[in-house]
Structure 1
């Protein structure tokens, strides 16, 4: 539980009057101090759905105590350090975060329904100064808190919780032209008694993207969990959970590229029981209200909704979770798969957090890994799955 100091008075985060105090501080543009660790890092305030939220100042995550909810592992241990300040620009004066994307939110050229539009990008080429689709999902997942784990979170994550905090994470983000929340669609949890109301809300949101201008169509950004995929009457379709009556259509060539590009992620989803396969996509909506896939990226997550890249990461994350450890998962963002990163940072070790790495045995990778460890202020732990059993975690 956090405690904030505002004008000399200390306020626990569960204090019944805290919202009133934060609102007055927000109106006066005051900076609360988080009392987790001297010299008590400053916070800034943002407004979301009528509530005032305290957020850590940019690049200060490491200034907080490792047990504090505002703690963040050093950005250079993941792919976050590559995009902070360039693709992600945080303005503490107005509480807005400007995001720069390397994918388009407009579709040029005319196509008529029901022909599936869109080419699925393989996202191999990236630009560190802009966010790829996958990096955008990584950022929102991180901001929503689903890279963090503690024993108290067991059995408390489900789609309704995931959706709520992803939308909250997007609330203070914007593109160059408009708020991210105006572009982002995340399906509600399906409820039979609210079926029609949910469908109507979806139609209203998507109607803003329905094809009107043949020369440039606005695209929607969609996040959801893959349910299934396969042949449609014309081409192929991908269906998301909680969105059974609104599939995403694409042509055969794009579908084949999609399954080839994401063979690893699809394989992990098939092989790892109880895992979820998250998708982020740009989607066009034709005049008939049919959704067509333009570009997509996938991210497997464990049954606890923690992202993982391969079987070794999943084994380590499951070991940490079932051992009652408290940690933050590192994400790759735009960082190439040949580059090392801290798979997770344990926040329950003393006297300082411990970065966990997985060794892959390739000479160049090993050299860069050792350099990353040498430059880090955190303690380090390395696991080589080819030679070591996964048993002795840092105490």
Structure 2
């Protein structure tokens, strides 16, 4: 396993692990060098500049556009767009505005006088590449994927074992939302996510939730606004008009109401045919929903549009049980990322995972062989053959060939020594 080393302008070199393990000393060091640009030594061919940012604390961040130049094991590594569904967007859909902010264009309207028509129907899913090779806006599901990736909950390292809980999820998702802009406003200004519930503080939590909802749903001029809600579903309850959505950690009696047609659209975009949406829930996973929400004239919170994804208890997203099998196998000792599809259509090739500790270059991992996606599987098999012919790193599990046993994947490699030539 490799460790990333950081070099400061006075020649001092420390590891990223040391900075993480000594927060007080790290803060003093970063404050001292806040006007300079440290460099990351993970790439033996060139030093990659970082910058020192500050919110409540000082922290290191990579320069925009340099993510894929870092070694795959490096915490500053960012997969190139072609390794996820991000490749389907025009550059204007997701723009890095400066060191701290990313501007995102969303299909579904937020704020005052939002329209319910935006992003409805087929726009919520990926467009066919043949007719519309690039999209100009993100769907709700894609925004959830982007938020998740920005908070790095698609990424796993063994040292995270036992440390991911709802408090950590809430903290980092809200921090990520503060760096994302929609309509020149930080996403956090539109977003409600239930804060971690503590029984002894339930009255204060309920009061803060009501204050938050008031400001999210009504502007200073008294006009109604549309807000965004992200949360983990606890249960669905049937009503004569549809279903109530109960979120974990949300203070009672907070319920979000979904009409029958909204529910049908939600299930249709999720590819589910269910009599009862509670069938989406289970003891072995979380169901995370993202919703645009209005407040009706009688005070109910009405879901306008919704999307969802399933995650493991460590909040790693998955789409099928074979991905879960691989996640469980990798988690104890390997560094990897779960690559999300955003709005990519079924024929777009996106690796399910990137194995990040098998050398300087990430290894794409594909899990396929499902009868419902025969055309996509054919494209993946052709891509794998190309990788084998050109000696590009690649791993695959064709479950049509063997549903029970996956092939051996590459061993972890310690690449620390390769980065020392720049120190």
TM-score bracket, normalised by the shorter chain, equals 0.7 to 0.9
| CA offsets 1:67-107 (integer angstroms, 9 cap, x no match) | 22112233211112333733221133x52211111111147
Residue 370 (structure 1) aligned with residue 382 (structure 2): yes
**Within 5 Å, which residues of 2 pair with 1:1-395?**
2-8=4-10, 9-12=12-15, 13-14=19-20, 15=22, 16-23=24-31, 25-26=33-34, 28=35, 30-38=36-44, 39-48=46-55, 50-83=56-89, 85-92=91-98, 94-106=99-111, 108=113, 121=120, 123-124=124-125, 128-210=135-217, 217-232=224-239, 234-243=241-250, 244-264=252-272, 270=280, 273-286=283-296, 289-322=299-332, 324-350=333-359, 352-360=361-369, 362-363=374-375, 365-367=377-379, 370-371=382-383, 374=386, 379-388=393-402, 389-395=405-411
Q: TM-score, normalised by structure 2?
A: 0.80
RMSD over aligned Cα atoms: 3.2
| CA offsets 1:248-269 (integer angstroms, 9 cap, x no match) | 1122232233334435498897
Q: Are 1:206 and 1:289, in contact at CA under 8 Å, matched by a contact in 2?
A: no
SS at match of 1:259: helix
Would the alpha carbon gap of residues 212 and 176 (structure 1) be closer, same or farther in structure 2, given more than 3 Å must change? closer
SS at match of 1:341: coil
SS at match of 2:72: coil
**Whole-Å Cα distance in 2 between the matches of residues 43 and 334 of structure 1?**
30
Runs of at least 5 residues in structure 2 that lack an aligned partner in the other structure? 128-133, 412-423
Q: Are 1:139 and 1:333, in contact at CA under 8 Å, matched by a contact in 2?
A: yes
**Whole-Å Cα distance in 2 between the matches of residues 11 and 382 of structure 1?**
37
- The alignment of Structure 1 onto Structure 2 pairs a total of residues equal to 384
1:114 is aligned to none
1:113 is aligned to none
Larger displacement relative to structure 2 (73-82 or 300-309): 73-82
| CA offsets 1:117-148 (integer angstroms, 9 cap, x no match) | 99994523657221111111111111111111
Q: Are 1:268 and 1:310, in contact at CA under 8 Å, matched by a contact in 2?
A: no
Would the alpha carbon gap of residues 364 and 169 (structure 1) be closer, same or farther in structure 2, given more than 3 Å must change? closer
Runs of at least 5 residues in structure 1 that lack an aligned partner in the other structure? 111-116
Would the alpha carbon gap of residues 316 and 203 (structure 1) be closer, same or farther in structure 2, given more than 3 Å must change? same
Shift of 1:42: 1.0
